[in-house]
């Protein structure tokens, strides 16, 4: 436990963040109740002046933090970071496409989960300690790829860059381009699929399905790049929303499942001959704003099984990468979706703070705060492609 007064200079990543949020990012071992007490008694100072938990910080300000505060309720100590083996460090470093102070861009191989879960011990999130020193903030995930999907995966190096990138993903300004091989050839070569998605009952949330009544709006733009007769097609996919398994469900719903995706295509998703049974879905390219004002634009090479199938079918990989026009200004609907996503994140943050305040107030007889409610969007756009139809909406 620190026994001396500490001073921190607010970084550019933390410009505009609330004081209590700064502690959650930079000194997570100091609880909200302690921060509130320190602020109330004047022990926290910003540029020499008293500060409240809700005050916004500015880059360059000097924050004075009193000693102590590391002890957690019940005497619990923060969980130490797991020591990685040399093989794990090498595995993590082999995935790197590029990195800088704000981001690490990986090329995730197929078969490696992004995050842990029931029975999943080996995953990308478990390898992120390879990219930080003992005193550095731990890099964090800001989006996901399915276990069997390969390609570009963005990791944020700092809490500030994580917040920045998360807003770009939730606001739909990040552009994600996928390549896929699908069974058969869509009749419309360049189309839009608009089919609402929901968790399929009875699957424990492991599988999604098209739900015209209660599903969340989901939109996918697709373009056929090349075809191998009527057997298969190489397509470019742009998810305009970010629903779970969206690309896989949408392509299966129009009658052209992704090659190797038995979960949604059944036996029809597997081609005969020497074509790999692995899933042929690859996050080829990511274009997203950078906190420094530049833009990240990264392309991931194909995994071995995908490249081999491309060669067997005679597809010319150079035909796939085309110049991407800058995204159009956000529509009114896009702005509404971004506002809803921001409000949802804000409510989550406020609920966490209220729980902490409620726990603190429990011993003083003060009532706990209630939970704010939220509404699920129920409307869907008319004119959607129907499941089973071979056509996408133009």
Q: Write down how long the chain is.
A: 394
Is the four-CA dihedral 132, 294, 318, 114 of positive or negative sign?
A: positive
pTM (predicted TM-score): 0.72
Task: Please give the Cα distance from 262 to 178 (Å, whole number).
Answer: 19
Beta bridge partners of 392: none
Give Cα 178 to chain centroid, integer Å. Answer: 15
Of the candidates 14, 20, 129, 146, the residue annotated as catalytic is 146
Is 146 labeled as catalytic in the residue annotation?
yes
Tell me the CATH number of domain 6-75, given options 3.10.290.10, 3.40.50.880, 1.10.10.10, 3.40.50.970. Answer: 3.10.290.10
From-to residues of CATH 3.10.290.10 in the chain: 6-75
Task: Please give the Cα distance from 252 to 187 (Å, whole number).
Answer: 14
Identify whether the C-beta of residue 228 lies closer than 8 Å to the C-beta of residue 315.
Answer: yes
Identify whether the C-beta of residue 86 lies closer than 8 Å to the C-beta of residue 112.
Answer: no
DSSP structure string for 253-304? HTT-PBTT-HHHHGGGG--STT--SS--EEEEEEEEE-TTSSEEEEE-PPPH
From-to residues of CATH 3.30.2350.10 in the chain: 86-317
Homologous superfamily (CATH) of 86-317 is Pseudouridine synthase (3.30.2350.10)
3-state secondary structure of 357: helix
Identify whether the C-beta of residue 57 lies closer than 8 Å to the C-beta of residue 10.
Answer: yes
From first to last of the 394 residues of the chain, give the pLDDT tens digit.
Answer: 456 888 999 988 888 889 998 888 888 788 888 999 999 999 999 999 999 999 999 989 999 999 876 654 444 455 567 789 999 999 999 999 999 999 999 999 999 999 987 788 899 999 999 999 877 889 999 999 999 999 999 999 988 899 899 999 988 899 999 999 999 999 999 999 999 999 999 887 789 999 999 999 999 999 999 999 999 999 999 999 999 999 999 999 999 999 999 999 999 999 999 999 999 999 999 999 999 889 999 999 999 999 999 999 999 999 998 765 555 555 566 566 666 665 666 666 566 556 655 655 555 544 444 444 444 434 334 444 444 444 444 4
């Amino acid at each position: 436990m620190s026994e001396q007064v500490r001073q921190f200079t607010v970084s550019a990543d933390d410009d505009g963040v609330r004081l209590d949020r700064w502690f959650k990012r930079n000194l997570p071992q100091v609880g909200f109740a302690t921060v509130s007490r320190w602020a109330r008694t004047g022990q926290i100072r910003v540029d020499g002046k008293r500060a409240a938990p809700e005050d916004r910080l500015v880059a360059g300000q000097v924050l004075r933090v009193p000693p102590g505060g590391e002890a957690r309720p019940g005497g619990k100590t923060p969980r130490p970071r797991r020591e990685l083996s040399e093989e794990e460090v090498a595995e993590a470093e082999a995935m790197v496409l590029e990195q800088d102070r704000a981001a690490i861009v990986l090329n995730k191989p197929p078969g490696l989960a992004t995050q842990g879960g029931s029975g999943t011990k080996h995953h990308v999130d478990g390898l992120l300690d390879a990219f930080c020193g003992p005193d550095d903030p731990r890099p964090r995930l800001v989006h996901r790829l399915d276990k069997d999907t390969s390609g570009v995966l963005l990791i944020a190096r700092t809490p500030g860059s994580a917040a920045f990138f998360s807003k770009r993903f939730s606001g739909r300004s990040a552009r994600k381009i996928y390549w896929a091989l699908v069974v058969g050839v869509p009749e419309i070569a360049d189309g839009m699929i608009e089919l609402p998605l929901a968790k399929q009952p009875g699957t424990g949330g492991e599988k999604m399905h098209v739900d015209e009544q209660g599903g969340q709006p989901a939109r996918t733009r697709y373009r056929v790049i090349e075809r191998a007769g009527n057997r298969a097609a190489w397509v470019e996919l742009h998810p305009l929303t970010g629903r779970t398994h969206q690309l896989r469900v949408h392509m299966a719903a129009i009658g052209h499942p992704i090659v190797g995706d038995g979960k949604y295509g059944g036996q029809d998703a597997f081609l005969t001959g020497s074509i790999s049974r692995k899933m042929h879905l690859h996050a080829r390219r990511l274009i997203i704003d950078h906190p420094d004002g530049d833009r990240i634009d990264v392309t991931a090479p194909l995994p071995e099984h995908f490249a081999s199938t491309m060669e067997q079918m005679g597809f010319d990989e150079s035909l796939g990468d085309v110049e991407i026009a800058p995204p159009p200004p956000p529509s009114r609907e896009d702005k509404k979706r971004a506002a809803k996503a921001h409000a949802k994140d804000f409510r989550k943050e406020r609920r966490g703070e209220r729980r902490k305040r409620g726990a603190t107030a429990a011993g003083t007889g003060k009532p706990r705060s209630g939970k704010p409610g939220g509404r699920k969007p129920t409307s869907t756009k008319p004119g959607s492609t129907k499941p089973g139809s071979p056509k996408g909406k133009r």
